[in-house]
Amino acid sequence: MQIDSNLTLPVTGRLLLAKARVPAELTDPVPGATKDAEGALLLDVLIEGGRVAGLFAMGNAPPVDRVVDLAGRHLWPAFIDMHTHLDCGHAIPRVRPDGTIHGGFSLTTEDWPRWSDEDLALRMDFGLACAHAHGVAAIRSHVDSETLAYSQHHWRALERARTKWAGKVDLQGVTICAMEAWVGDDARALADLAADMGGILGGVTDTLDRGENGTYDALAHALDRLFALAKERGLDVDLHVDQTEDLTAFTIPEIARARLRSGFQGKVVLGHCVNLALMPPKVIEGTLALAREADLAFVSMPTPMMYLMDRKQGRTPRWRGVTAANEIRAAGLPLAIGGDNCRDAWYAYGDHDMLDTLKQAIRIFQADEPLTGALTMASRVPADLIGRPDLGRIGVGLPANLVIFQARSLNVLLSRDQADRIVLNHGRRVTDGLPLHHELEQALGLADPVLS
Ligand SMILES: [Zn+2]
């Protein structure tokens, strides 16, 4: 069933979206608004000049010439995807993932020489176009930064994409490299590069082995350098942490202690942290208490973790592969979700659709019953973590980056794919469809020779 024809929206101007159903956790409070049984408010939303100009309890908006009756459909803020790898993405079929972490790393590095300016632009554009059509307003992408030469090349590609997509899908980069890079000769140049490109700093913390005495001295030193470089430049930090089922590679406490001794005031986000879920309850509790003291935040990538973790040939996985999501949320710590890799050496599938990621997260984490707060993992929480509190919620004065769904209940919204959703970008309807895979393959020289 298509969205009704009366939802043919004007592209600009003053417009009232009447009888919208907005989950209370995704909007500013609206006095007098009725709440439905699933926690959504019934609202009239006034849009003017590309922004939300007013929020009213249903039926209380002032007269407006142009009214679109949403008839109780769900209206959400556009999504935020705060953990992606756009530079790796959409390399299938020239890259054929084997479903393992080792394969992800080795096949990606083997692919690097093919990452010309044009190749990066085509694949990153494709990812951004998917996200835009699905209603994603901002993306943070990790940028492969293993050597300074590769880093400069990859970051320049990101910068071109960032300029091209600004205002549609706002893009922010973060370095991803082994933590050794932050004690190497190029550390300062790499930090300057990220800063010049509007990016932030990160690294993979479980690449540094413990010393002979079982301590994490080398990691602690690298973290100290990273926090010092970030502090000097006023940059936030976003790390890849413990994507392993090895319980002896457990670096969250080291990161927390480094953060506490650094005096670093920026945001610190820890991605993955999957072996936390395998720890004894007392260890989880103690680790999260330390994380709270150190003001750490978390981001989980449920879909690719289900795919990658606990994969053993011929054996069905016993573990969902995700972090201790519900314990993190219960401890009052911010938890966002991200799409992560997409059709590349690390993860074979994906379409940059954060509604799909949210639906997966709710099921994989069992983050429902109650659902309260879970919807913010793909919007409000990541918006705050990437320093964009103007996004990820519906509020007066904020950009009208919105998604209208056909669903009139949350249950239906989370049940059907909502492929016919309508996306508004700064109040304008997004009419670009999803980009086509065979056109990308043609442009990359990967088209099926039988058909071309
Ligand atoms: Zn990642």
- How high is the pLDDT of residue 418? 96
Q: How far is the CA of 279 from the centre of ligand 1 (A)?
A: 22
Q: How far is the CA of 298 from the centre of ligand 1 (A)?
A: 12
- How high is the pLDDT of residue 452? 57
**CATH superfamily placement of domain 79-385:** Metal-dependent hydrolases (3.20.20.140)
Tens digit of each residue's pLDDT (9 = 90 or more) over 309-340: 999 999 999 999 999 999 999 999 999 999 99
Residue 5 has pLDDT above 50, yes or no: no
- How high is the pLDDT of residue 252? 97
Secondary structure class of 224 (helix, strand, coil): helix
Residue 4 has pLDDT above 70, yes or no: no
Secondary structure class of 96 (helix, strand, coil): coil
Alpha-carbon distance 408 to 73, whole Å?
A: 4
Percentage of the chain surpassing pLDDT 90?
90
Residue 226 has pLDDT above 50, yes or no: yes
Q: How far is the CA of 271 from the centre of ligand 1 (A)?
A: 7
Q: How far is the CA of 19 from the centre of ligand 1 (A)?
A: 39
Residue 38 has pLDDT above 80, yes or no: yes
Q: How far is the CA of 240 from the centre of ligand 1 (A)?
A: 6
Tell me the average pLDDT across 38-65: 96
Of 95-104, 210-219, 234-243, 389-398, give the lowest mean pLDDT range.
Answer: 210-219
- Give the start-to-end residue ranges of the domains of the chain: 5-77+393-429, 79-385
Residue 163 has pLDDT above 90, yes or no: yes
Interhelix angle 252-262/217-233, nearest 10 degrees: 50
Say if pTM beats, i.e. exceeds, 0.75.
yes
Average pLDDT, rounded, for the chain: 94
Q: How far is the CA of 347 from the centre of ligand 1 (A)?
A: 10
Of 41-45, 266-270, 445-449, give the lowest mean pLDDT range.
Answer: 445-449
Q: How far is the CA of 206 from the centre of ligand 1 (A)?
A: 13
Q: How far is the CA of 222 from the centre of ligand 1 (A)?
A: 20
Q: How far is the CA of 83 from the centre of ligand 1 (A)?
A: 6
Tens digit of each residue's pLDDT (9 = 90 or more) over 113-151: 999 999 999 999 999 999 999 999 999 999 998 889 889
Name the band, by pLDDT with cuts 50, 70 and 90, for residue 357: very high
- How high is the pLDDT of residue 1? 33
Name the band, by pLDDT with cuts 50, 70 and 90, for residue 153: very high
Q: How far is the CA of 135 from the centre of ligand 1 (A)?
A: 21
- How high is the pLDDT of residue 25? 97
- How high is the pLDDT of residue 451? 66
Residue 448 has pLDDT above 90, yes or no: no
Q: How far is the CA of 361 from the centre of ligand 1 (A)?
A: 16
| DSSP per-residue letters across 56-89 | EETT-SPP-S-EEE-TT-BEEEPEEEEEE-TTT-
Tens digit of each residue's pLDDT (9 = 90 or more) over 63-117: 998 999 999 999 999 999 999 999 999 999 999 999 999 999 999 999 999 999 9
Residue 12 has pLDDT above 70, yes or no: no
Q: How far is the CA of 54 from the centre of ligand 1 (A)?
A: 38
Report the CATH number of the 5-77+393-429 domain: 2.30.40.10
User: Which residues have C-beta within 8 Å of that of residue 391, sequence separation ≥ 6?
Assistant: 77, 78, 80, 137, 138, 170, 379, 383, 398, 399, 401
Q: How far is the CA of 340 from the centre of ligand 1 (A)?
A: 5
Q: Which two tokens stand for residue 126?
A: 């494709």
